[in-house]
Copies of this chain bind each other. A is one copy, B any other.
Amino acid sequence: MLAGLMQNVPLTLNLIRERVADLYPNKTVTTRYPHAIHVIGYGEVLDRAGHIANFLQDIGITRGERVATLAWNSHRHLELYMAVPCMGAVLHTINARLLGPDIARLLDHADDRALFVDRSIWKTIGHEIDLPRRVRHVVVMEDEPDQMLDPPARAGTTQAHYEDMIRRHQAAFAWPVLSEDEAASLCYTSGTTGNPKGVLYSHRSTTLHTLACLFADGIAMRERDVCLPAVPMFHANAWGFPYAALMAGANLALPCRQTDPTSLVELIEAAHVTMATAVPTVWIGFLDHLRRDASALGRISSLKRLPVGGAAIGRSFIDDFTRYGIEVMHCWGMTEISPLGLTNVERSDLDDAQVRETRTAQGLPIPGCRLRIVDADGARCVTDGKMPGELQISSPWAAGAYFDRAAEEKGLHPEGSFVVDEGRVWLRTGDIATIDPHGYVRIVDRAKDLIKSGGEWISSQALELQLMNHPDVREAAVVARPDPKWQERPVICVALHEDTKELRERFQQDYGSALSEHFPKWQIPQEVVFLTELPKGKTGKIDKIALRTAMQPAQ
């Protein structure tokens, strides 16, 4: 082999940091906090990232150690996005919608050494979080310096206030030259089952994913954009949009926790947002709001593009926004692919009927992503747009393994979710898809047993396990029912030991409180379907596909 003679510049997030410092110090991030709109320049964000890096170094955080966040979308969270990976540590963004015990389990599994937490989140669920002993430092994020942790954290933990911490450390930091293969951040796909699955992004994968968000055929982030990621920054780095905005020099608008239509309209107007992204649930509510309040339309006139993902969308959804001059682009991805894998770009070689047909498909693979669909034997399926197969992905920004503590020593280890074939690792997405002759992918079914509600996953399996603990339950299954607001909601299908009115009423009355010990409120099904017996497949297992089909609205 003859090696090329090009510069060995590692693909790390320091490329973004340096570019912002060189070109975009005066571009801004606007955060809509509950009490006020806050604007700060990127130059200052980088300065503050330097303060944070010095703090992390002072408390002994070393290369590769995990630093957790429990935070909404804010300028401080953005500062941590820069500071933590660029100083060589790993940013572990925890889903703030989980229950305290689940959060504690993630802190333990990731072996986090420090936790940055929004005071409002801590106030709500802090008492439920039994901090693992190795989490030695907690930093509270809020404006007022005297507002410390309430409830207090475990004794023995050092506690600091974010703005105090900034003041007590200097901005100048000797950012290290990192290897592009080093871990940059860690994101768990689900904290609600017994086995949390961590995706450990590398600097290389996140940098390449960031570049992919700049492609003209795709997200097409530009300097003149103002980008509003209304998807949480604890979900796969807010789909990579904050990093993409920094790289492109686009302004950012961050909604904190508030993604209700009124708050979004206010933020779009204040920051002149040109593109926004969130799950369809958010936009369905937004559309309703626009229909009810005509004045809102004038306030959001800067908004031109909506890359939407996280759940399927219909033609009317696209048409409604088009009518308002807002272009919807269907996207698809998952935490394991950083998360973007498909964007619905309109090919020039489609006829009108094909254009209309493909608009609701999940899209074409982004350059750098290679896809295939395979049958149960792992053989490639034909790509005729009809034959479904399991969607598998090969990409430099797709996971090759899940994070577990042992993996620190043993490196990559293909397991159930990965398959080695054709000379490479493929990620098994667990989704069933068709691919048409032009390359458009349509997700037609889910192999995985998860329900997607408002952009969050609900594990039917975890719910079923708890339901089976109920003394009256003989068999139970939880399946998705399409929902106009949340896309999907879980429904309990249950057969009781005796199908009497009395037992039915008792179950109706107490299943909710039984589940609420283990699940956050939004995960708990509101609806129960009583059956004398659940349908079974050939092997005697409950036929959840039949149940799910029964829940679909009539065509």
Chain A interface residues (CB < 8 Å from chain B): 1-9, 11, 15, 18-19, 22-23, 26-27, 63-65, 90, 177, 179, 181-184, 199-205, 211-212, 214-217, 220-224, 247-249, 338, 345, 347-349, 364-365, 367-368, 370-371, 394-403, 407-408, 411-412, 423-425, 427, 438-439
The answer to whether B7 and A427 touch across the interface, beta carbons within 8 angstroms, is: yes
Known: A1-B64, A5-B400. 11 other contacts (CB 8 A): A2-B408, A5-B411, A6-B205, A9-B394, A11-B396, A23-B365, A177-B423, A211-B368, A215-B216, A223-B348, A224-B347
22 CB-based A-B contacts, threshold 8 Å: A1-B182, A2-B64, A3-B183, A4-B182, A4-B201, A5-B183, A5-B202, A5-B407, A5-B411, A6-B201, A6-B400, A7-B425, A8-B400, A9-B395, A9-B396, A15-B370, A22-B370, A23-B438, A214-B217, A214-B367, A224-B347, A248-B367
Whole-angstrom distance between the alpha carbons of A396 and B65 in the complex? Answer: 27
The 3 tightest CB contacts between A and B, nearest first, are: A4-B202, A2-B64, A224-B348
Do A184 and B5 have beta carbons less than 8 Å apart? no
Shortest beta-carbon distance from A318 to chain B in Å: 19
- CB within 8 A of A5: which of B221, B349, B403? B403
Distance (Å) between the CB of A433 and the closest chain B CB?
14
> Quick check: B199 and A5 within 8 Å, CB to CB?
yes
Interface contact A1-B179, CB-CB below 8 Å = yes
Are B211 and A9 in contact, with the CB atoms below 8 A?
no
Contact present for B8 and A425 (CB under 8 Å)? yes
A442 CB → nearest B CB, Å: 15
What is the total number of copies of this protein in its complex?
Answer: 2
- A427 proximity list for chain B (CB < 8 A): 7
Q: A3-B411, A223-B345 are in contact. Are A15 and B368 (CB under 8 A)?
A: yes
Q: How far is the CA of A338 from the CA of B9 in the complex (A)?
A: 15
| Complex CA distance for A204 and B411, rounded to whole angstroms | 23
A399 and B6 contact, Cβ closer than 8 Å, known pairs A1-B63, A1-B64, A368-B211: yes
Known: A211-B368, A367-B211. A4 touches B184 (CB 8 A): yes
Q: Are the C-beta atoms of B19 and A370 separated by less than 8 Å?
A: yes
Q: How far is the CB of A417 from chain B (nearest CB, A)?
A: 12
Q: For the complex, give the distance between the alpha carbons of A364 and B395 in Å.
A: 29
Most buried by B among A214, A216, A348: A216
**Residues in B whose Cβ lies below 8 Å from that of A182:** 1-4
The CA-CA distance from A13 to B139 in the complex, in Å, is 46
Known: A177-B423, A216-B220, A217-B222. A5 touches B370 (CB 8 A): no
